[in-house]
Structure 1
């Protein structure tokens, strides 16, 4: 049984964090229920196919160049 009540902030659930999973799923469900998801997808498709498409693809490529979890704004050294 998965509890929907959040655990105290000091308790680390580690991998498979059930509290975070439940919060994420509720957020997605609420977004789908209250937003025009198909309209959002249509607008995104038009943006990628339109004049800003090249800029969006460059931004996507830049994001993919960074390792997962790496903050490109932080400098090492």
Structure 2
């Protein structure tokens, strides 16, 4: 089995795969459908609480919010 090439800081291969899949999803015509599903999830109090708890847990592992992110537009 061949060993994966170390690409150093950041992975161009992973970045390309992410960009390709993100572009494919954006062009798939499913964006509105998925946005509506997310909106419905947030409208359900139990599901919204679960999602907020998961977000809080994920942020607990983060080094901090990206200063470029505009948090004033959040819910």
Q: Same fold (TM over 0.5)?
A: yes
> For residues 19-77 of structure 1, what are the alpha-carbon distances to aligned partners after superposition, in whole Å with 9 as ceiling and x for unaligned?
22211111111122225112211211221122321222122212222347xxxxxxxxx
CA separation of 1:10/1:43 partners in 2, compared to 1, >3 Å: closer, same or farther?
closer
The CA RMSD over aligned residues, in Å, is 2.3
Highest Rg: 1 or 2? 1
Residues 1-77 of structure 1: matches in 2 within 5 Å?
A: 9-51=3-45, 52-67=47-62
TM-score by length of 1: 0.59
TM-score by length of 2: 0.60
Unaligned runs of 5+ in 2: 64-75
Instruction: Say which structure is richer in helix.
Output: 2
